[in-house]
Structure 1
Amino acid sequence: MRQDLGGIWEAVRGVEPGSPESVPLWENVTLPHCVNAVDGVHPDLNYYQGPSWYRTRLKVSNPYENGRTLLHFEGAGQKTSVFVYTTEVKTHVGGYDEWTADITEAVEAFKKTDICRELFNGEVPVSIRTDNSRDLEMIPSDLSDFNIYGGLYRYVNLVYAPALSIEKVFAFAEVDKTGKNARLQVKARFYNPDQVSSAEAEVKLLDQMGRIVRKERLKVNIEGGSLSLTDWRLKNPLIWSTDRPVLYTVEVSIHSSNGEYKHAEKVGFRHFEFIEKGPFMLNGKRLLLKGTHRHEDHAGVAAAMTEDMIRTEMKMMKDMGVNFIRLGHYQQSRIALDLCDSLGILVWEEIPWCRGGLGGDVYKEQARRMLTNMIEQHYNHPSIIIWGLGNENDWPGDFSQFDKEKIRAFMKELNDFSHKLDNSRKTAIRRCDFCSDIVDVYSPSIWAGWYRGVYTEYKKVSEAEFKKYKHFLHVEWGGDSHARRHSENPDNALMKVQAAGEADERAGDASLYGGSTRVSKDGDWSESYICNLVDWHLKEQETMPWLTGTAQWPFKDFSTPVRPDNPVPYMNQKGVVERDFTKKEVFYVYQSYWTDKPMAHIYGHSWPVRWGEAGEDKMIKVYSNCDEAELFLNGKSQGVKKRNSQDFPAAGLRWNLKFIAGENHVRVVARKGKVTVEDSIRFQYQTAKWSAPARMTLTKIEDKDGIQTFEAKIVDENNVPCLDARNWVRFSLAGDGELIEHQGTSWGSSFLQMYNGRAIIRVKSTKGGYVVVAKSEGIPTVSINL
């Protein structure tokens, strides 16, 4: 029996109470909850790293005689201690794996006290301390390009179990290349603190309709805690694939004098192979891995993503055409893995040994423990094909000594240990060349057109790297884009950058200051440029038959402490969508290459004003997977274009047109077989030239459902909008409204760079009045009074 404890809790951070019950300044929260829900993107403060406390009262009523009462944590950051009243029950180190605290004895002892009866009316007070303080002997390193969050940011469950229960089921499902001959091995580990010696077990295999495929009942002797139950041979199972992710259910039940306990796991029969010096094969056929990355991070909640949020995110990935994901850079929620299984997304999951170097014995033991937990807890997922052992382990900084040989020795230990725990999956690391020969699959650093070189070098550089390694897989590529910023000349930065013949990211390349000329520093960070970069990469991947696949970095913008100077401070803006799921234009570039369902998208839905000379030819691009498309400008057909993926940009679906001054309406009708899809946009075309920024305007542009949206614009001395202005703007509010800020988005940040001379902010209003203020250095401050 399992109960989600997501109801009302109380939380406080930054204190160490003598007793968890003695602090008066608690706030009501619901779980999951992250103590860094908003401060991770606060433009003026470092995000909080320290202790936090949570408390609640539980009505404990275990239905099993001699049963066990457990608290199950799906993840909590980063060191966690559990108390029943003032009795410490368990401490756990590690922010990303699952773990359990048995509170049975502590609960029973507390129930016998007068305090329980007189002060708590029979309820049991539970307090939990979390701590995300910096600790060099913990992974991940604080040098990592993501926040080390604190709090109960994944679900917590109250579990009742009989004296003998099942702790873990290991279900190994495999099938040969033909798909005809399958094997299912089932093992179980039991939770048996009372040392029950004998029981009866039943194993069932159910198909996707819930019908029994096979079952077996057997008597078992419970001694070592783990036991092999079945080893079945099966004929012609339905195969799990990325297009048709068929899942079976393995159900194990244990019967003893203490009661019955059931445990179910999903499994899938599939066969995969990385061909040496060749492509990736799934079920005997080549599959190009079309991948992305994921951090557990979201606007307004940080790591505390709800199940609905996670489901929305994973479905958006699948809708974009993703069939592969690298979970960066830590074990992630069981919810995400379950969705990868059911949606058909292959997975590289890794432990958070990320940057900084190598610590001592405590550090190493945590890495071993996290590797063990990750593999054991996610062993049954058919989606997982790779266990990641590290990321950017060539990056020093945490320790006075950076010894490559010691790092190699520990990487080899982890590699051997991973194969011992699970020899059915591959191991991999990204960006640590001096360890590339240790793991099964290696991903070097390739950032063509962003941190090094130009994007047209991508294929040449990738092929050169491919030849160095037995199994090559390219994860992490792309570039940052400031959502809503667009450019009439997006590739201008490439004129400043020399073709380098190499594309690796090096120390300091992520900085916006100093060093060599590079697009990441000297480009415009427009959505327009990133669309071209991605477009080029994807059209090249279609002509690389040896390629296993790639994973762009990342799917969604996320918070990071090491990028304070980005256009949205403390945000890594390389996402395909913003931190709140708002799609950027580049989402549709991927969709046009990776999906079959007919779609068409005109570039520029978030580009309200274009500019140029009167009568000048301007390009309209349509991203579509359809065979052909017809474009209309202001109601007049501009002709039909045929799609050709090798005709860059936009696979040939581009038109050079002359806009009229003022409003223009563009519509596309695309056809794929007998299916027709349409898209349209409206925008203003500005021919007036602007001079230096002189003034700012502030206008309310929307009022909907109690939320008002305000837009600040930069204009010159003649009130002509400065459409290339990137001024920093700071919004503030006085009065009865509430500024919606610290979201890490282009619309929910009170301090950010403008996009095309404008920026928006939203306000949650009350019945009273308020004043919104916009400030920009060197420009007169403006306000609006409502």
Structure 2
Amino acid sequence: MSGKEEKHLPLMKFILWTFLTTIWSVSSFAQDTGRKLISLNDQWEFHKENGTTEKVNLPHTWNDKDVLDDEPGYYRGLGIYKRKLVLDESAKGKDIYLVFNGVAQEAEVLVNGKSAAKHIGSYTRFIVPITSFLNYKEDIIEVRANNRFNEDILPLTADFTFFGGIYRHVSLLITNSVHFSQKENGSAGVFITTPQVSSATAKVQVKSTIENTSGTAKKVQIQTILFNAQGKEISSQISALNMLSGGNSTLVQDLNNIKQPELWSPENPYLYRVVTKIIDPKTKLVLDQVSNPLGFRWFKFDANEGFFLNDKPLKLIGASRHQDYENLGNATPDALQIRDIELLKQMGGNFLRVAHYPQDPMILEACDRLGILASVEIPVVNTITESEAFTANCLNMQVEMIKQNFNHPSIIIWAYMNEVLLRTKFANDKPRQQIYFDHVRELAQKLDDLTRKEDPSRYTLLVNHGAWDIYNKVGLTKIPMIVGWNLYSGWYSGTPADFGKFLDRHHKELADKPMLVTEYGADADPRIRSFSPVRFDKSVEYGIYFNQIYLNEMLKRPFVSGGMAWNLADFNSETREETMPHINNKGLLTIGRVPKDTYFLYKAYLLDKPYLKITSAQWKDRTGVADSASLFSTQPLQVATNLKSAELFLNGKSLGAKEAVDHICSWQVPFADGLNQLRVVSATHSDQEDINFQLQPYRFTDGLSFKSMNVLLGSKRFYMDEKEHQLWMPDQPYRKGSWGWIGGEPYKGTNNRITYGSDKNILETDNDPIYQTQQVGIQQFKMDVPDGEYELSLYFAELVGGISKESLAYNLDNTHKKEVEENRIFSVAINGSAFLTHTNLAKDFGYTTAIRKKTRLTVQNGKGITIDFTPIEGKPVLNALQLRKVY
């Protein structure tokens, strides 16, 4: 297949000064381009419907804060933006447009109170002609943006947040009356294809649509020039064109016989530049000009042998990406967006799934520049609406996506559905459900047909979740050129061992269909660690284990064209609760783009240069109980590497060399109290980290000074409270001379999916993991501490009951048991003195609400601390405990 490259608007942005003449005088635009593109990101006033007015700059969203609070839901409604636009008389005679790169999700643009345009869809560019509405004195631009739920607008539901606002850049575009058409679905009207590419020769075809808005016919010339990366002209063509008054014309130009083109690839992302000009033949002035990237490459997907680029096999490994960022929502600055692609490249990735919607133009620009292959899709997610309006919006968004991104050499796939049968409607009415399935299939066929017509040079992709039978039965695996599978065996359902079996089934039963693993992943909360990781404990260690299995299975099967980790970075999903409410933690990076251990694992798998990295980058502060009466605590340590082996040193002493297993070397490290200096070495490379360790005594009489401890009841995981710099460790049964619980058992949840604690949002805290596990039926907690003054805090939360919420559709075996609410009334005494009396957590404080009760006590006569829990009705619980020695 040949490739194509996209035209999008120039990146140069300029502050709009008060008068246009001033803008022109300071502009550094080359004066022969014929057009000017000027930023309009400043000086906006904004208010929600019936809300107060504030001054804002773009990009902007009104949901950057309310999606993170404890109140379910977020503002989905109308937001109104206004700004002044003062243009000089000299702007008359020009064609003037507003260019919006992204407004969520219904937009109406008014100029001086009159509606100039409406647009549907959050994720694609639209261009509004405003010339006829201007008074050239003090014009008022108003944008009415609405992110309300609308059953006719995709997406309907999804595992991400539908932020509102003008969240991408807005520009003023000024052109001459003869210009490249601004009516081509938000594109710049120039479309480039490479009908023939080989290492010996190539051909380029440029299709331009030109518009004449003047009242007279025009004779113009269209010149297209191909430049190499060094700015040398390689080929050019000039054509004459007669333009009717008020008419559009389309011109096709061929640049043939390009000798020995430099080929574009991830290893060598060589970019040519195609400059297309409209020239006045009399004055030789340039009336309009656009520039596009061009990469010469060809590619194919094979159902047996995988993906080939420029006739060479290439396993596509990378990640999907969401566009939001920590505390910013999706109003993300340019530099942070570009950094995402740089981080993907540094990881060794060669593919980006732009999911689940078209993203800012600079994302694909970065992919072109850095050598990242890409797919782009529209957000038909989970379900559809069976209406003509919904279908029309889907088809229109697909056309906008294709035309606006047409000229990017990085794009090799257009996609149009994701897990569309995840929420199957009419489950209790099978005949009606079959009609729904027929409509889903018909929509998929229309989108696929449309895509192949608009761009026959790229592949089509439809993405399914792991429900093999239903997608085959409905017929969705037969429509696209590539079948994508989102597979979470070992997370949402099943075990990791099921993953390889699924891949083999596809190869056997859909032998003619190339496949991609378009999603896979396991939540890894960077604050949570475990030495015995299990499904749904949210530990980084389980994430490492999960990704090792998936990478191994994909890499050893040639027929698997590639795999995209879900996700490049953590992202906002307002309906999620779990350990970090409203955040999906499957990212290889945090939502603030700090690498997790899983990111380092991918570098070990993918980089072609030697790599050695002590992981646990965010676990530089540890705690643990000493081994017996020793003055150290033995804990595992992992090193990610693509080398055969490595040797670890602790404070200068060798702990031996270890062979790498699935790109991980592991040691049992005896950490001492205080600073521990680690250094891992190979023949040519090394890495080092300092670990601060807070050692807890095995017995309080062992001579190790006791300062404080934080204990999670019913837990096998460690937790780092980053804000208060506190380290929490798992509990233990009571041991004489030490500490621990007596009686009871760990809380096991209320459904078959989760056997580890609770995944509910704990209200009034950011430290949900402290409260999400507990010991149920606890009788005592004893600490045989030496005499002294202590501060003791007990942590509680009622995990059973509260508002019944719809379970996430993604949890495929989420078979809830009905929660049986029981009165839980108990009393607590400390060293024989009443502390809490007849406490009813649900009634007194509320369900799933963080409760902390602190006291100060004097320990004397060698009695230590004994906490008694007396049941009055139901079983007592304790979620966590904190003890600090004052003196």
TM-score (norm 1): 0.81
Q: Is the contact between residue 485 and residue 519 of structure 2 (CA under 8 Å) also seen in structure 1?
A: no
Find 1:335's aligned residue among 362, 378, 383.
362
SS in 1 for 2:353: strand
Shift of 1:466: 2.9
- Cα 1:452–1:725 shift into 2, 3 Å: closer
The answer on 1:240 being equivalent to 2:264 is yes
The answer on 1:146 being equivalent to 2:160 is yes
- Cα 1:268–1:313 shift into 2, 3 Å: same
Residue 852 of structure 2 aligns with which residue? 780
The answer on 1:636 being equivalent to 2:671 is no
Q: 447-456 or 470-479: which moved more? A: 447-456
| Structure 2, unpaired ranges of 5+ | 1-35, 182-187, 465-470, 700-708, 714-719, 747-755, 775-792, 798-840, 842-850, 856-887
The answer on 1:409 being equivalent to 2:449 is no
Q: Is the contact between residue 173 and residue 182 of structure 1 (CA under 8 Å) also seen in structure 2?
A: no
Q: 161-170 or 663-672: which moved more? A: 663-672
Shift of 1:46: 1.2
Residue 580 of structure 2 aligns with which residue? 568
Q: What is the correspondence of 1:63-78 to structure 2 with a 5 Å cutoff?
A: 66-78=93-105
Q: Is the contact between residue 628 and residue 670 of structure 1 (CA under 8 Å) also seen in structure 2?
A: no
The answer on 1:549 being equivalent to 2:562 is yes
Q: Is the contact between residue 72 and residue 575 of structure 2 (CA under 8 Å) also seen in structure 1?
A: no
Residue 126 of structure 1 aligns with which residue? 141
Residue 92 of structure 1 aligns with which residue? 119
Find 1:626's aligned residue among 634, 640, 643.
643
- 1:339-375 per-residue CA deviation (whole Å, 9 max, x = no partner) reads 1111111111001111223431111111111011111
Q: What is the correspondence of 1:670-689 to structure 2 with a 5 Å cutoff?
A: 670-671=681-682, 675-684=684-693, 685-686=695-696, 688=698
- Cα 1:625–1:668 shift into 2, 3 Å: farther
Could you tell me how far apart the structure 2 residues matched to 1:294 and 1:569 are? Answer: 20
The answer on 1:462 being equivalent to 2:503 is yes
Residue 352 of structure 2 aligns with which residue? 325
- Cα 1:693–1:412 shift into 2, 3 Å: closer
Find 1:10's aligned residue among 45, 59, 68.
45
- Cα 1:474–1:417 shift into 2, 3 Å: same
Find 1:530's aligned residue among 505, 518, 543.
543
- 1:168-216 per-residue CA deviation (whole Å, 9 max, x = no partner) reads 2444343767422211000112243336443111111111111111112
Residue 188 of structure 1 aligns with which residue? 208
SS in 1 for 2:530: coil
The answer on 1:599 being equivalent to 2:611 is yes
Could you tell me how far apart the structure 1 residues matched to 2:766 and 2:161 are? Answer: 20
SS in 2 for 1:467: helix
Q: Is the contact between residue 483 and residue 526 of structure 1 (CA under 8 Å) also seen in structure 2?
A: yes
- Cα 1:464–1:87 shift into 2, 3 Å: same
Residue 489 of structure 1 aligns with which residue? 532
Shift of 1:448: 2.3
Aligned-pair Cα RMSD in Å: 3.3
- Cα 1:755–1:671 shift into 2, 3 Å: farther
Q: Aligned letter for 2:260?
A: N
SS in 2 for 1:393: coil
- 1:550-583 per-residue CA deviation (whole Å, 9 max, x = no partner) reads 00111111111332x2211122111111111122
Q: Aligned letter for 1:180?
A: A
Could you tell me how far apart the structure 2 residues matched to 1:537 and 1:398 are? Answer: 31
- Cα 1:147–1:274 shift into 2, 3 Å: same
Residue 225 of structure 1 aligns with which residue? 249
The answer on 1:311 being equivalent to 2:338 is yes
Could you tell me how far apart the structure 2 residues matched to 1:285 and 1:60 are? Answer: 55
Shift of 1:595: 1.3
Residue 179 of structure 2 aligns with which residue? 165
Could you tell me how far apart the structure 1 residues matched to 2:738 and 2:103 are? Answer: 53
Shift of 1:269: 0.5
Shift of 1:416: 1.0
Q: Aligned letter for 2:852?
A: P
SS in 1 for 2:531: coil
The answer on 1:33 being equivalent to 2:60 is yes
Find 1:346's aligned residue among 360, 363, 373.
373
Could you tell me how far apart the structure 2 residues matched to 1:691 and 1:368 are? Answer: 56
Could you tell me how far apart the structure 1 residues matched to 2:638 and 2:107 are? Answer: 52
Find 1:418's aligned residue among 427, 439, 451.
451
Could you tell me how far apart the structure 1 residues matched to 2:443 and 2:329 are? Answer: 32
Q: Is the contact between residue 485 and residue 527 of structure 1 (CA under 8 Å) also seen in structure 2?
A: yes
Residue 275 of structure 1 aligns with which residue? 302
Could you tell me how far apart the structure 2 residues matched to 1:298 and 1:337 are? Answer: 18
Q: Aligned letter for 1:135?
A: N
- 1:95-117 per-residue CA deviation (whole Å, 9 max, x = no partner) reads 11111111111113xx4xxxxxx
The answer on 1:156 being equivalent to 2:170 is yes
Q: 196-205 or 578-587: which moved more? A: 196-205
Q: 78-87 or 372-381: which moved more? A: 78-87
TM-score (norm 2): 0.72
Shift of 1:293: 0.4
- 1:726-769 per-residue CA deviation (whole Å, 9 max, x = no partner) reads 8999797xxxxxxxxxxxxxxxx8463349999xxxxxxxxxxx
- Cα 1:688–1:190 shift into 2, 3 Å: farther
Could you tell me how far apart the structure 2 residues matched to 1:96 and 1:701 are? Answer: 36
Could you tell me how far apart the structure 2 residues matched to 1:414 and 1:189 are? Answer: 24
Shift of 1:596: 2.7
- Cα 1:151–1:671 shift into 2, 3 Å: same
Could you tell me how far apart the structure 1 residues matched to 2:692 and 2:541 are? Answer: 16
Residue 742 of structure 1 aligns with which residue? none
Q: Is the contact between residue 315 and residue 555 of structure 2 (CA under 8 Å) also seen in structure 1?
A: no
Could you tell me how far apart the structure 1 residues matched to 2:73 and 2:419 are? Answer: 24
Find 1:451's aligned residue among 478, 488, 492.
492
- 1:253-304 per-residue CA deviation (whole Å, 9 max, x = no partner) reads 1124896111101110011100132210011101000120011111111111
Q: Is the contact between residue 275 and residue 292 of structure 2 (CA under 8 Å) also seen in structure 1?
A: yes
Residue 571 of structure 2 aligns with which residue? 558
- Cα 1:686–1:138 shift into 2, 3 Å: same
Q: Aligned letter for 1:677?
A: S
- Cα 1:410–1:610 shift into 2, 3 Å: same
Could you tell me how far apart the structure 2 residues matched to 1:467 and 1:66 are? Answer: 65
SS in 2 for 1:575: coil
Could you tell me how far apart the structure 2 residues matched to 1:397 and 1:47 are? Answer: 25
Shift of 1:590: 0.6
Shift of 1:159: 0.9
Residue 805 of structure 2 aligns with which residue? none
- Cα 1:413–1:661 shift into 2, 3 Å: same
The answer on 1:428 being equivalent to 2:492 is no
Could you tell me how far apart the structure 2 residues matched to 1:99 and 1:527 are? Answer: 42
- 1:317-354 per-residue CA deviation (whole Å, 9 max, x = no partner) reads 11111110111111111011101111111111001111
Shift of 1:219: 0.8
SS in 1 for 2:67: helix
